[in-house]
Structure 1
Amino acid sequence: MITVDPDTQTPPYEQIRAQVVAHVDSGELQPGDRLPTVRRLAEDLGVAANTVARAYRELEQSGVIETRGRAGSFVTGDQVERKAKEAAATYLAQVTALGLTPADAVALVRHLEQHPVRSS
Structure 2
Amino acid sequence: MTLKIDITEGPAPYEQVRAQISEQARSGALPVGYRLPTVRGLAEQLGVAAGTVAKAYRALETDGVIETRGRNGTFVAAAGSAADREAAAAAQAYAERARRLGLAEPDALAAVRDALRAAYGD
Match of 2:78 in 1: 77
Q: 1:119 to 1:68 in 2, by over 3 A?
A: same
Distance, in Å, in 2 between the alignment partners of 1:38 and 1:119 is 44
User: Does 2:40 correspond to 1:36?
Assistant: no
CA shift, 1:53, in A, is 0.1
Q: Which amino acid aligns with 1:84?
A: R
Per-residue CA shift, 1:67-100, capped at 9, x if unaligned? 0111111111251222323x269x49xxxxxxxx
User: Does 2:35 correspond to 1:5?
Assistant: no
Q: Which amino acid aligns with 1:69?
A: G
Per-residue CA shift, 1:21-58, capped at 9, x if unaligned? 11012210011111000000000000000000000000
Runs of 4+ in 1 over 6 A off after TM superposition: none
Match of 1:16 in 2: 17
Q: 1:5 to 1:77 in 2, by over 3 A?
A: same
Unaligned runs of 5+ in 1: 93-104
- TM (norm. structure 2) is 0.70
Match of 1:101 in 2: none
Superposed, 1:90-101 pairs within 5 Å as 91=90
Distance, in Å, in 1 between the alignment partners of 2:54 and 2:15 is 11
Could you tell me whether the CA contact under 8 Å between 2:66 and 2:79 is conserved in 1? Answer: no
**Match of 1:32, SS?**
coil
Output the aligned Cα RMSD.
Answer: 2.7
Could you tell me whether the CA contact under 8 Å between 2:26 and 2:79 is conserved in 1? Answer: no
Distance, in Å, in 2 between the alignment partners of 1:33 and 1:63 is 14
Q: Which amino acid aligns with 1:14?
A: E
Unaligned runs of 5+ in 2: 107-122
